[in-house]
Amino acid sequence: MAMAQENAAFSPGPEEPPRRRGRQRYVEKDGRCNVQQGNVRETYRYLTDLFTTLVDLQWRLSLLFFVLAYALTWLFFGAIWWLIAYGRGDLEHLEDTAWTPCVNNLNGFVAAFLFSIETETTIGYGHRVITDQCPEGIVLLLLQAILGSMVNAFMVGCMFVKISQPNKRAATLVFSSHAVVSLRDGRLCLMFRVGDLRSSHIVEASIRAKLIRSRQTLEGEFIPLHQTDLSVGFDTGDDRLFLVSPLVISHEIDAASPFWEASRRALERDDFEIVVILEGMVEATGMTCQARSSYLVDEVLWGHRFTSVLTLEDGFYEVDYASFHETFEVPTPSCSARELAEAAARLDAHLYWSIPSRLDEKVEEEGAGEGAGEEAGEEAGEEAGEGAGEGAGVDKEQNGCLPPPESESKV
């Protein structure tokens, strides 16, 4: 009967339908940060790091700048070549064979523009060529060759970095759609799962978790998006991952956790966001990659556990990503981690003081006579009755926070 009551207290209660919340996400599920910079008056700061500004632009704007950088350069130097020919009078002596122009066969602006393209791209078709009678043309030729190389290096570098950005690699790093809260080794833990869809692995992978929640200080200051670290094994090294197969990341709800005093009902009424960050180096390129996701209150399932996705086949392990996001219900106390720890401590204290007293009674019974044995038996009966009453009181005080029946049988 007592065991049935304990199991009833330990089993999860009826699940309430999820309530729709109006909280705005700080980080979207796909990792995009939902923050926009407004009223930035010092826009010149973006130009001080022009390379990063061009890389961060959208693709259509990057391609537009790429085309304009070359087209404007060709037009600029083409106009200068035309001005030199016009200033020297080459355009007035096109039919004069005795006249030595600055550039042979340059008869107009279009020809000057084509010569500028041939010079900067080092094509050199041979029809239009500079002569040695034009020192200003020689200086311009050297200047255009140097500046053209700089433009090539800058624009090609921007396009290469933009194409090889590691944030595209983060698209194949997946997080579970929900986080779960259940028991692990008799302690409440908040867990989520991460996985890598590619065969090429993430090197030196590490995981972090942040709790985003509003708070008010003792002085009355309101902090709308206060960030608190959630320990996922930094002290033990469990935050460094060997991400070959999907892993379940666990945050133990202990006295240092912000969820230490949060019961199931209190957690459902709370308003917070958990941001998880996975970092590592791409094995193929060596560039640092970061993947992000988040969980709102409605996406934290109390009393659930992740379905196993790893199976042993003939000579290899197989990962079934069809079950990556699936969970199933498990018996989990609905009280807070603090109340669960206090209930377990009271139960351990009760067992500690009751079992040794009975052993001492057996020793006294063996050494004493029958009369002394009867007296010891009466005293033991009284103590056992008191112990049973105390045990019933302990059971009554658990209030749904009893540890699992397996742990009691082990004790």
DSSP 200-257: SPEEEEEEEEEEEEEEE-TT--EEEEEEEE--SSTTTTTTEE-TTS-EEEEEE--TTS
Place of tokens 């020689």: 138
Q: Could you tell me the fold of the domain covering 45-164?
A: Helix Hairpins (1.10.287)
pLDDT at 353: 62
pLDDT at 249: 96
Beta-strand relationship, 247-252 and 288-296: unpaired
Which SS3 state, helix, strand or coil, does residue 343 take?
Answer: helix
The b/e string for 103-126 (b: 16+ C-beta within 10 A; e otherwise) is beebeebebbbbbbbbbbeeeeee
C-beta neighbour count of 334 within 10 angstroms: 20
pLDDT at 17: 43
* DSSP letter assigned to residue 203: E
pLDDT at 226: 93
Q: How far apart are CA 335 and CA 261, in angstroms?
A: 9
Place of tokens 């959630």: 230
Q: How far apart are CA 26 and CA 19, in angstroms?
A: 19
pLDDT at 365: 58
pLDDT at 304: 96
Q: What is the CATH number of domain 173-339?
A: 2.60.40.1400
Question: Could you check whether 45-164 and 173-339 share the same CATH topology?
Answer: no
Place of tokens 């009369």: 371
Contact by Cβ (8 Å): 197, 262: no
Provide block-wise average pLDDT over 10 residues at a time, the chain (411 residues): 42 44 82 85 77 87 92 95 91 86 91 92 85 91 93 90 81 94 94 93 93 91 92 91 94 94 92 94 86 94 95 91 94 93 83 57 54 48 45 45 48 33
Domain ranges of the chain: 45-164, 173-339
| β-bridge partners, 208 | 277
Query: For the whole model, what pTM was predicted?
Result: 0.69
